[in-house]
Amino acid sequence: MRNVILASSSTSHGSRYLEYLQPELKKLFNAVSSILFIPYARPGGISYDDYTEIAKKGFEFLGIEVKGVHSFENPKNEIEHAEAIFVGGGNTFVLVASLYEKGLMDTLSTAIEKGTPYLGTSAGSNICGVNMQTTNDMPIIMPESFKTLEIIPFNINAHFITEGKNSTHKGETRETRIKEFHVFNEIPVIGLPEGSWLNVIDNEIILGGNLDAILFQKGKQAVICEPGMSF
């Protein structure tokens, strides 16, 4: 039974790291004493140790121990036996490349599918889709494959924003990029704004937060998804 939270971001509208997710995290991790943190996405090129320290501070409110997977000689074994897992945001290309290089993609998928509580933020949420091809990140490294965990039957576009009528932005919008994706791909995409998340309980997927998400499907009109909607 899958027990997963996939958040668009680790912060929301000026809140501290993971602060806006605290009520959900209390429920997700209520029966665990330690969390295995996977820091491979390295936002801004931060070191694994420094990123793990940020994650530790984010969970101080729960009094739960956070251990960085990089600190162990056998990361596969740690994932297989973890009480809970958190994959933080950063660069999705770097994260996916690292998981493939270390032979951990299938291991992580198996752990989630067997019911290990899982939190993903940004890149850590992106990898739970069918593939990583709707990420916003720069392709600074080439992973072995774009295929990811397939925990959900669609892709996520995290940090999703819709350009307002008065916007002075002249570049491509997120909607434009997703339309380009759908020229070559059939996979649905959820535009997930910051402050929103998906609760995945077994086969049920529910939109959390107070903002609308947008469902994009090839050849169809985009659908606005209200909070509480079940996919």
Q: Residues 89-105: pLDDT tens digits? A: 999 999 999 999 999 99
Residue 159 a catalytic site member: yes
At residue 223, the pLDDT reads: 97
Domain boundaries, the chain: 3-225
Residue 8 a catalytic site member: no
**DSSP calls for 93-133:** HHHHHHHHHTT-HHHHHHHHHTT--EEEETHHHHTTSSBST
Say yes or no: domain 3-225 is CATH 3.40.50.720: no
Residue type, 25: L
From 8, 122, 125, 196, the catalytic residue: 122
At residue 166, the pLDDT reads: 63
8 A C-beta contact, residue 186 and residue 221: no
At residue 1, the pLDDT reads: 86
At residue 162, the pLDDT reads: 83
Q: At residue 41, does pLDDT exceed 90?
A: yes
Region 194-198: what's the mean pLDDT? 97
From 8, 9, 12, 137, the catalytic residue: 137
Q: Residues 55-83: pLDDT tens digits? A: 999 999 999 999 999 999 999 999 999 99
Residue 47 a catalytic site member: no
Burial 10-27 (b: 16+ CB within 10 A, else e): bbbeeeeebebbeebbee
Region 187-214: what's the mean pLDDT? 97
